[in-house]
Amino acid sequence: MDSLCRYAHRPLAFLFSYIRSRPIAHATILTCVLAAVGFSVGTQYAIKFLVDALSKGAPDTANPWPAFICVCGFIAGDALFWRVAGWIASDTFVRVTGDLRRDLFEHLMGHSPSYFADRLPGMLTSRVTATSNACFTVENMFIWNVLPPCVATATAIALVGTVSIPMALGLLIIAAILIVAMFKIAANGKPLHHEFASKAAAVDGEMADVVGNVLLVKAFGGLAQERRRFNATVRGEMTARRRSLRYLEKLRILHASITVVLIVCLLAWGVLLWQKGAATTGEVVLVCTLGLSVLHATRDLAVALVDVTQHLARLSEAVETLLVPHELHDHPNAKPLESARGITFKDVTFRYRGGRAVLKNFNLHVEPGQRVGIVGPSGAGKSTLLSLLQRLHDVQGGRILIDGQDISQITQESLRAAIAVVPQDICLFHRSLIENIRYSRPDADDAAVMKAAAAAHCEFIEQLPEGFDTIVGDRGLKLSGGQRQRIALARAFLRDAPILLLDEATSSLDYEVEEQIREASARLMEGRTVFAIAHRLSTLRNFDRIVVLKGGQIIHDGPPSELITAEGRYNEFIHREIHGRRANIPEEVAGSPVYALTV
């Protein structure tokens, strides 16, 4: 999909690449439109013969019927070919927008997390829609509003030449001057159209951002504040749109004024030719109707070009934003991950864009099947380790190896297939519970999903009115924090991957449920290599090893039984947690033997 990036600054080439993918359908539409325009202009020439036939002799001697049949044939041909073109276009143009949306979605989802961190999701999705709509509009306008006036003008001028060469040359020069001048003036308004496109996208992004955080807005009484902010954004968009539309209207007024003067002059010229006997009545009618057609065609063409320019500005702005090269690529010779057990961080250096180094010459080796707990203060690099292991970012130095295979040399798909993740910020789709659990293994049957849910102690599902078919709401808002975490654990059970990453997997659970999950997690960890970030150090008591980080460096590393007796940060964390938990749990629990074992 990175092949799309070459079109980032070439919106027309981007659109044409999709037109080329359906050559026969587009060629048929083009042929039908050209034929329809030919019949449309030819109808006026056929009327010239009908007028001449009617003006010759008395009604009882004239024979206008051949000319009448010719006019009817041209009218029928005009209507037929327009409808054939419209019928084919109604399918072809829609298919183009579908192809385009699919490709843009695939390209968008190929970006690294840092790309999404810098942009509003609502703005990105609105730009996908804007790109699709702009391509559809540009293609439609070219076929129905740009091409017909061009062909009609050229044909009409040629037919006027059969009556008066000077008149045809005059029309040709005037039409050319009008089209070029109008297009150049329209192009000068491109910055205004770009500004409007950008402001419109900002409104969509702002709205999606607020709607996505509606609970935060309600919690802090921020409705009035958000209303003021949104009103200011809408005012900016309205101002930009008003400037864009008024520029277009000034252009239309200019063309209308010129057209009125030219039509009067053309009509006078035709009458003078008739008075001199240089033109028949039918030819005067022909010249006048064709002249009007030419001038109206230039108006339609100018207006269409202005509108196309505006939509191209929107298309250009959206394409420039979306078609950014991916930061993460599979190596050209990438191979699937063969096995996934032992993990090694070797001299790894990493910094987020624009920030300080989070890890510098970091080294860590984890034996196959080893359970490693990672602790440390905020900003120590704990979550960064998990992100780098999943290759959500590329390291700036060093290597990360899984069973000796450098993860930068293996396919991202096979790497992530070997990893099950339970994140701190649980991500759920606005879908049913069974779909959310099955997401980790789409081919799993219902029995496997329910088994995973039972292993994660998701008994609450049975109490819901629709059970596993319950829709969880946007990002799972219908569920409590603990319920969402148990769904995430169920996904990990179902994934059944050799590497398990737990990022605060029990942070939102109460004491009783935490014990249930701890027991279930112990079964899940058997035979797997485990990385677990935890603030509740009691969740790591049965781990093989604890790694304590500070400032991106390992300051303690060893079994929990050793670290708890040694002086250092881990010992401080343990004592802080003991005092904190004693203050927040019932006295009968704090004094029980079970509690003593947990710490």
Q: Between the CA of residue 219 and those of 474, 480, 482, what are the distances in Å?
A: 17, 16, 20
- Stretch 381-401: mean pLDDT: 89
Q: Determine the pLDDT at residue 588.
A: 43
Domain-located, residue 156: yes
Domain-located, residue 444: no
Domain-located, residue 247: yes
Phi-psi region of 36 (alpha: psi -120 to 50; beta: other; left: phi over 0): alpha
Helix axes 281-322, 165-188, angle to 10 degrees: 20
CATH number, residue 165: 1.20.1560.10
Same domain for 204 and 271, yes or no, is yes
CB 294 within 8 A of CB 155: no
Q: With a cut of 50, say whether residue 599 has pLDDT above it.
A: no
Q: Determine the pLDDT at residue 511.
A: 62
Same domain for 87 and 124, yes or no, is yes
Burial profile 477-511: b = 16 or more Cβ within 10 angstroms, e = fewer: ebbeebbbbbbbbbbbbbbebbbbbbbbbbbbbee
Q: Residue 561: name the closest of 572, 551, 550, 570 by CA.
A: 570
Same domain for 357 and 307, yes or no, is no
Domain-located, residue 381: yes
Same domain for 361 and 230, yes or no, is no
Given 288, 322, 356, the domain boundary residue is 322
* pLDDT (tens digit per residue) in 406-454: 998 999 888 888 988 888 778 888 888 999 999 888 888 999 999 888 8
Same domain for 64 and 114, yes or no, is yes
CB 163 within 8 A of CB 279: yes
Please state, in angstroms and rounded to a whole number, the distance separating the CA atoms of residues 582 and 303.
Answer: 76
Task: Among 72-86, 179-193, 212-226, 318-332, name the most confident range.
Answer: 72-86
Domain-located, residue 132: yes
Q: With a cut of 80, say whether residue 273 has pLDDT above it.
A: no
Higher pLDDT, 204 or 337: 337
529-533 and 371-375 as β-strands: parallel, antiparallel, unpaired?
Answer: parallel
Q: Determine the pLDDT at residue 516.
A: 67
| Cβ burial, residue 106 (10 Å; 0-12/13-18/19+) | exposed
Q: How confident is the model at residue 572 (pLDDT cuts 50, 70, 90)?
A: low
Please state, in angstroms and rounded to a whole number, the distance separating the CA atoms of residues 326 and 8.
Answer: 13
Same domain for 118 and 172, yes or no, is yes
Q: With a cut of 90, say whether residue 88 has pLDDT above it.
A: yes
CATH number, residue 548: 3.40.50.300
Q: Determine the pLDDT at residue 171.
A: 74
Same domain for 100 and 245, yes or no, is yes
- Stretch 132-161: mean pLDDT: 84
Q: Determine the pLDDT at residue 6.
A: 81
3-state secondary structure of 205: helix
Task: Among 84-98, 117-131, 498-512, 533-547, name the most confident range.
Answer: 84-98
Helix axes 11-20, 65-109, angle to 10 degrees: 110
Same domain for 187 and 103, yes or no, is yes
Find the length of the chain.
599
Q: Which helix (H) or strand (E) holds 588?
A: helix 587-590
3-state secondary structure of 22: coil
Q: Determine the pLDDT at residue 513.
A: 63
Domain-located, residue 43: yes
- Stretch 252-263: mean pLDDT: 75
Percent of the chain past pLDDT 70, that is, above it, reads: 83
Please state, in angstroms and rounded to a whole number, the distance separating the CA atoms of residues 79 and 597.
Answer: 87
- Stretch 237-245: mean pLDDT: 83
Q: Determine the pLDDT at residue 579.
A: 55
| Domain limits for position 569 | 343-418+500-506+529-584
Higher pLDDT, 137 or 157: 137
Q: Determine the pLDDT at residue 363.
A: 93
Given 289, 322, 355, the domain boundary residue is 322
Q: How confident is the model at residue 155 (pLDDT cuts 50, 70, 90)?
A: confident
Helix runs in 403-455, H state only? 412-417, 433-438, 446-455
Q: With a cut of 60, say whether residue 58 has pLDDT above it.
A: no
Phi-psi region of 17 (alpha: psi -120 to 50; beta: other; left: phi over 0): alpha
- Stretch 545-554: mean pLDDT: 88
- Stretch 474-485: mean pLDDT: 79
Same domain for 278 and 362, yes or no, is no
Same domain for 360 and 308, yes or no, is no
Please state, in angstroms and rounded to a whole number, the distance separating the CA atoms of residues 237 and 203.
Answer: 7
Average pLDDT, the chain: 79
Q: Determine the pLDDT at residue 57.
A: 55
- Stretch 181-201: mean pLDDT: 73
Percent of the chain past pLDDT 90, that is, above it, reads: 9
Q: How confident is the model at residue 80 (pLDDT cuts 50, 70, 90)?
A: very high
Higher pLDDT, 598 or 288: 288
Domain-located, residue 491: no
- Stretch 465-491: mean pLDDT: 84
Higher pLDDT, 523 or 599: 523
Q: With a cut of 60, say whether residue 60 has pLDDT above it.
A: no
| Cβ burial, residue 474 (10 Å; 0-12/13-18/19+) | middle
Q: How confident is the model at residue 28 (pLDDT cuts 50, 70, 90)?
A: very high
The pTM score is 0.67
Q: How confident is the model at residue 201 (pLDDT cuts 50, 70, 90)?
A: confident
- Stretch 34-62: mean pLDDT: 71
∠ CA 84-90-94, nearest 5°, is: 150
Q: With a cut of 80, say whether residue 95 has pLDDT above it.
A: yes
Note the Cα 352 to chain centre separation in Å: 24
Domain-located, residue 448: no
Q: Determine the pLDDT at residue 23.
A: 92
CB 15 within 8 A of CB 326: no
CB 457 within 8 A of CB 486: yes
Q: With a cut of 90, say whether residue 84 has pLDDT above it.
A: yes
Same domain for 314 and 354, yes or no, is no
Same domain for 7 and 125, yes or no, is yes
Q: Determine the pLDDT at residue 30.
A: 92
Residue with tokens 């359906």: 22
Structural domains counted in the chain? 2
Q: Which helix (H) or strand (E) holds 171?
A: helix 165-188
Reading the block at residue 147, the tokens are 């091409």
Given 261, 291, 322, the domain boundary residue is 322
